[in-house]
Amino acid sequence: MNNHFTMRDLPQCERPYEKCLTKGPQFLSDAELIAAIINTGTKGFRAIDLSQEILQSSNSFPSILGILNMSNDELMRIKGVGKVKAAKLKCIAELSKRIAKSKASNLIQLTSPSSIAEYYMEELRHIEQEQVVLLMFDTKNKLLGEKTVYIGTVNASLVSPRELFIEALRSQAVYVVLLHNHPSGDPTPSTEDIILTKRVQKAGNLIGIQLIDHIIIGDLCYTSLKEKNLMDS
């Protein structure tokens, strides 16, 4: 006997697939979108019920954002979520991040902190550890590449300007931007953030690679040290 509840157990008008086709995916709730992805529930649970359970299972983000932060193991601790369902959910979460980043990529401008912040927002705002990313630009302000240069609590004495500029020189960059996240969601620069910025700026001036900005990503917000006049002029 099959104890798993499927979409067919729902009235036709309530089935996410049919609702998506007749009204459009924008009319589906978060739980309905997840139910359409996982397709089946488990013993005593319809897919839509299991979807509600998934949405409420993240301690950090009890919503659809929680899927971005939960590991496969954490997802599989939810009754009814096995390897396949966990993999589907993580793939959808990763796809959503890549779509958001790709959409913003055409708008990124070296001299526009907001465009840089928007480009990296979805990628960095959910990360639970601080990461420092170096962005490298050419003479035409085109992004040449990016490199995660440090992971952990940002300490100005531990982030090496030498390592940063080895990467910049390797990419033949003329301008660089520092970017890092604050897992707390508050992008207010710390004393260490300001010290790091000035150390990198000074080192860059010596070798002819200009640090344009240091941007801190919070939860759907950012701070540009350049805009706040916290960089040496």
- DSSP letter at 45? B
- Per-residue pLDDT, averaged over 156-174, amounts to 91
Domain positions in the chain are 7-101, 107-224
- What pLDDT, on the 0 to 100 scale, is given for residue 1? 45
Q: Are 53 and 78 in contact (CB under 8 A)?
A: yes
pLDDT tens, position by position, 38-79: 887 777 778 888 888 888 887 666 667 778 778 899 899 988
Q: How confident is the model at residue 205 (pLDDT cuts 50, 70, 90)?
A: very high
How would you label 132-148 residue by residue, b for 16+ Cβ within 10 Å and e otherwise? bbbbbbeeeeebbebbe
Looking at 106-208, which runs of residues are DSSP E strands?
A: 131-137, 143-151, 175-181
Identify the weakest region by mean pLDDT among 117-121, 175-179, 188-192: 117-121
Taking the alpha carbons at both ends of the chain, their separation in whole angstroms is 73
CB-based contacts of 33, cutoff 8 Å, min separation 6: 16, 25, 64
Task: Pull the structure tokens for residue 21.
Answer: 């086709």
- What pLDDT, on the 0 to 100 scale, is given for residue 87? 92
Q: How confident is the model at residue 162 (pLDDT cuts 50, 70, 90)?
A: very high
Cα angle for residues 204, 217, 153 (degrees, 5° grid):
75
Higher pLDDT, 6 or 114: 114
pLDDT tens, position by position, 71-86: 899 899 988 899 999 9
Can you identify the CATH homologous superfamily of domain 107-224? Cytidine Deaminase, domain 2 (3.40.140.10)
